[in-house]
Structure 1
Amino acid sequence: MRAHGLGVSPAQLLSGYLGRLWDVAEDLTAPQRLDAGRAALELLAMTLRGVAPSVPGGEGSAGVLLDMMQRHVREHLSDPTLRVEELARRHHVSVGRVYALFERIGTTPGTYLREQRLLAAQTLLSDPRYARIDVSNIAAAVGFVDLRGFERAFRRRFGTTPGAWRREHHQARSTPATTEKKPQD
């Protein structure tokens, strides 16, 4: 049975993935091994069912690898040293391969990383539990080392400064739906 548009069967895809996994398993961290094992089990289940993997962009192992990289980015946003080279090293591929994988979803690795950091910052700035934390500390918590760079990126992405975003979203939560008038003396 051939996988639609791939030119390979699910069993061939699984075999290739397991072969590559065997080659790199010693260098993977425990969480990476867990993710890779789950992906292998999913490929096995699809093989047994005779279902072709439906991973964006075609090749199943590439989709799994991209998913692992995206997960790694989201889990390590606070690491200011996280760069494309680090993704390539951790996932045992070339920098060019990392760019090619992210191109499949219409972005670059750096743009994806910055977007995830900005979304995380936006979430923290909107959360009243973090209202007393300085914007600079929030920027650092999501991996921005330069406050000015963070503020520029935030403004470009959301059309306002981080401080203005925070004020607007905290006021919206604290403003009652109806206001009562005080009785006049």
Structure 2
Amino acid sequence: MTVDNAMLERRGPFEGGALFSGAEGLVGLSVSSRMSSPRPHHHRTLVATTTFGEMFATRIRSRHLHAERTPDRLDDPYSGYAQLGFVLSGRMQIEQSGRHGTIEPGAASLLVGSLPFRTRIDDEAESIQLYLPLRLMLAHGYAPEAWAGRSWEITPSASVLREILRSVTSGSHPVPAASASHVGHALREFALAVLHEAADRVHAGYDARAMYRERAQAAIADRFTDPSFGVAALADELRVSPRYLHTLFQGEDLSAGAQLRATRIRHAATLLAGSRTRDLTIAAIARLSGFGGDDQFARAFRRAHGVTPSEYRARHRPATL
């Protein structure tokens, strides 16, 4: 590897980063993508990678650098990640899934590692890529293919995330290993916030609020029988604040808490009227339906149906043969 003294002098915050220069440096850089340069003997790249648990970030300063992730490379570990990218200075061009964009300091972008893509830096540019697991995107309702090659004007959360990444990847004050996973958790939450804020801009017709409501309803259907599962636990599972969870259901027929309560009452009514559950006590049905106590169950059921659970059972008890 040839060391470029001019670039080395400008290393600045890239303490501990690796410096690649010339044609030999291009070979060393060709890990997940094939690197090339229109001026191979003049190309210079400084790279620093920082790991945060399951996530990692790469900070790059380069000039005359072209990258192409070709189909023959798609079976490597990078295929499980998306690159959420920010340009700190200069500009970079990206191309993926038929989409083209020029990324500058006022924009964010996303490249999907499971699909081919190209990037190009002509004049000197500096950028940071946060590698976000694709399974995390999928788990939160974001289809990676719909985001591949997208770029958008930077949002408030993206601006904060960019500055955090700028700090934690500088190398001048490295994140201690003992706290790396905690920092990774924070970066993950900010990355999801970035996707949430950008969803309507990036994908026309995409309704992030509807996606969160669908996930909330799925979580309620899955966990309503747990008496400890309430609105706070639901918000925690969705990784949103209780206040934001409340706003998601504004304008809907039922709030999140009301949907949880209605699901429990509906299940209890089924048990009360069922022929195979005729021997269950009212207390057992309350527990099986996720109510914390008999009195709580009786009050909620009476408000919903106008009768007590015992009266409901008497009215709907199947006839014995």
Q: TM-score, normalised by structure 1?
A: 0.63
What letter is aligned with 1:156?
Answer: R
Name 1:137's counterpart in structure 2: 284
Out of 28, 37, 40, the residue aligned to residue 143 of structure 2 is 40
Amino acid across the alignment from 1:114: R
User: Is the 8 Å Cα contact of residues 117 and 142 (structure 1) preserved in structure 2?
Assistant: yes
User: Residue 86 of structure 1 is aligned with which of 229, 233, 251?
Assistant: 233
Tell me the amino acid that sits aligned with residue 62 of structure 1.
Answer: R
Q: 1:1-185 counterparts in 2 under 5 A? A: 22=132, 33=139, 36=140, 40=143, 53=205, 60-170=207-317, 173-174=318-319
Deviation at 1:110, TM superposition (A): 1.6
Q: Which has the larger radius of gyration?
A: 2
Q: Once the two structures are superposed, what CA deviation does each residue of 1:74-133 show, in whole Å capped at 9, x if it has no partner? A: 111111111221111111111111000122413322222111111110111111111001
Q: Distance in 2 between matches of 1:81 and 1:24?
A: 31
Overall identity of the aligned pairs, in %: 29
| Deviation >4 Å, runs of 4+ | 22-26, 41-44
Is this contact kept in 2: 1:62–1:101, CA < 8 A?
Answer: yes
- Judging changes above 3 Å, is the alpha-carbon distance between structure 1 residues 23 and 107 closer, same or farther for their aligned structure 2 residues? farther
Contact 2:134 2:144 in 1 (8 A): no
Q: In the TM superposition, what is the alpha-carbon distance from 1:24 to its structure 2 partner?
A: 9.5
User: Cα distance, 1:40 vs. partner?
Assistant: 2.6
Q: Is the 8 A contact 1:80 1:144 kept in 2?
A: yes
**CA positional deviation for 1:168:** 1.2
Equivalent position SS for 1:174: coil
Are the structure 2 counterparts of residues 169 and 85 from structure 1 closer, same or farther at C-alpha, using a change threshold of 3 Å? same
| C-alpha contact (below 8 Å) 1:24/1:92 kept by paired residues | no
Letter in 2 for 1:40: A
What is the root-mean-square deviation of aligned Cα atoms in Å?
A: 3.3
In structure 2, what residue type is equivalent to 1:85?
Answer: A
Aligned length: 139
Contact 1:155/1:161 (<8 A) preserved: yes
Task: Give me the whole-angstrom Cα distance separating, in 1, the residues matched to 2:134 and 2:256.
Answer: 22
SS of 2:258's partner is helix
The CA distance in 2 between the partners of 1:156 and 1:129, in whole Å, is: 26
Which structure's residues are more often helix, by fraction?
1
Partner of 1:7: none
Task: Give the match's secondary structure for 2:315.
Answer: helix
